[in-house]
Amino acid sequence: MGEGVGFYSLQQLASRNETARQKARVGIFPWCEMTIRRMWARGEFPKPIVWMNRNMWKRGVIDAYDRFIGQGMAAAEAVVQAEASQALV
């Protein structure tokens, strides 16, 4: 994932298992949409931007968050670091 200008929607971030009605989808994170929403409510996932009644996440913030999580950083700390790293850009 290249860092750059752009946004991710919740559907691009979340993964979902295959069911009788829906095919499996692999998102950026292994969590489902509700898990991402719960993590965001607890402050463990970056805050979205509301655009045309949809939650959108800045690509740079999500890429930084993913990198920090991959390094073993706690989720709440990764949020702070990811948002701070993009505030400087």
Backbone angles phi, psi at 44, to 5 degrees: -105, 5
Confidence of residue 5 (pLDDT cuts 50, 70, 90): low
| Per-residue pLDDT at 89 | 57
Mean pLDDT of 10-33: 88
Provide the residue ranges of all domains of the chain, joining segments of one domain with +. Answer: 7-87
Instruction: Give 28-78 pLDDT, tens digit per residue.
Output: 999 999 999 999 999 999 999 988 888 999 999 999 999 998 898 888 888
Enter the pTM of the model: 0.79
For residue 86, what pLDDT band results from cuts at 50, 70 and 90? confident
d(CA 11, CA 34): 11
**Alpha-carbon span 35 to 41, nearest angstrom:** 10
